[in-house]
Amino acid sequence: MLQNTNNTTSNALVVEGGAMRGIFAAGVLDAFLEKRHQPFTEAWGVSAGSTNLIGYLCGHHGRNHRVITDHACRPEFINWGRFFQGGHLCDVNWLWHQSYQEVPLDLDHYLSGTTKLWVATTSVMTGEARYFCVDDHNIHDVLTASCSIPLAYRDYPSVDNEPMSDGGIADSIPVVEAYRRGARDITVVLSRPLGYEKKPLAFPALTRRMFREQPGLAEALIHRGERYNETLSFIQNPPDDCRLRIIAPPEDFPVSRLTTDLNKLDLGYQQGHRAAMAYLAELAQEVA
């Protein structure tokens, strides 16, 4: 039985990651900005979900779309040639800092606001989720760590002197953690259509071998699908004291983890925007 570890309740926005699939959430959050929809007391993000959320909480309409369709499509980010020579497939450190330099974030807007951004990472040592409240001191380390997919990014960024990896390994959709900490009105933005479930990892022995120096991380990778599907079950059947709304891509969502086709990315963005507009229209009817 989940326990509420906070004496107060909150209104939370939870955004899943998924690398380039984050274009859907970019469309959702731009629609929220257009309609000045920001009722959330806290936001929870993982990987691309966390970078999407900081753009939203800084008030930057269009920034997430630009980063995904421009910076993330450059060869400095996704580069198979570099990967086969022993380098990064996805250089998340370059992507974060280059986009931050070219399209700066108004951190004062976020820091002066009332919405806290919590970002999930995965401890390389234990394989367990770590959650960090983003501030001006840890933002670069935390968001880079949360996006660092094992193998695709060959380093383990350090946060509070602990090596971290992609938050999606330990907690792909941190809705249960949001509930544990008091959220009772939760909006979840997924990056896959409703009905999707993860399959078990095909080669667990190989994973343990590849990550033999990080056994905790290996076990987290092996059991990721189980935890993901358990989270989906929570989302579809929330506790009686939790109101949960879902915004998810349609079945024909054309974007995968490493899609760089601009037509597909733009379509995915528009699908997110339309889904958010429909969601907001339903909310307005509830209030009317």
Residue 2 contacts residue 182 (beta carbons within 8 Å): no
Q: Which residues contact 287 (CB under 8 A, 6 or more apart)?
A: none
Q: What per-residue confidence (pLDDT) applies to 61?
A: 98
Helix, strand or coil, per DSSP, at residue 165: strand
Helix, strand or coil, per DSSP, at residue 79: coil
Binned at pLDDT 50, 70 and 90, residue 5 comes out as very low
Q: What per-residue confidence (pLDDT) applies to 3?
A: 34
Q: Which residues contact 94 (CB under 8 A, 6 or more apart)?
A: 76, 77
Q: What per-residue confidence (pLDDT) applies to 168?
A: 95
Helix, strand or coil, per DSSP, at residue 133: strand
Q: What per-residue confidence (pLDDT) applies to 276?
A: 98
**What's this model's pTM, rounded to 2 decimal places?**
0.93
Share of the chain above pLDDT 70, in %: 97
Q: What per-residue confidence (pLDDT) applies to 286?
A: 81
Q: Which domains does the chain have, with CATH numbers?
A: 10-287 (3.40.1090)
DSSP class of 22: G
Q: Does residue 7 have a pLDDT over 60?
A: no
Does 9 or 161 have the greater pLDDT score?
161
| Structure confidence by residue, pLDDT tens digits, 228-280 | 999 999 999 999 999 999 999 999 999 999 999 999 999 999 999 999 999 99
Q: What per-residue confidence (pLDDT) applies to 201?
A: 86
Binned at pLDDT 50, 70 and 90, residue 2 comes out as very low
Helix, strand or coil, per DSSP, at residue 69: helix
Tokens standing for 234? 């929570």
> Rounded CA gap, 14 and 247, in Å?
10
Q: Does residue 41 have a pLDDT over 90?
A: yes
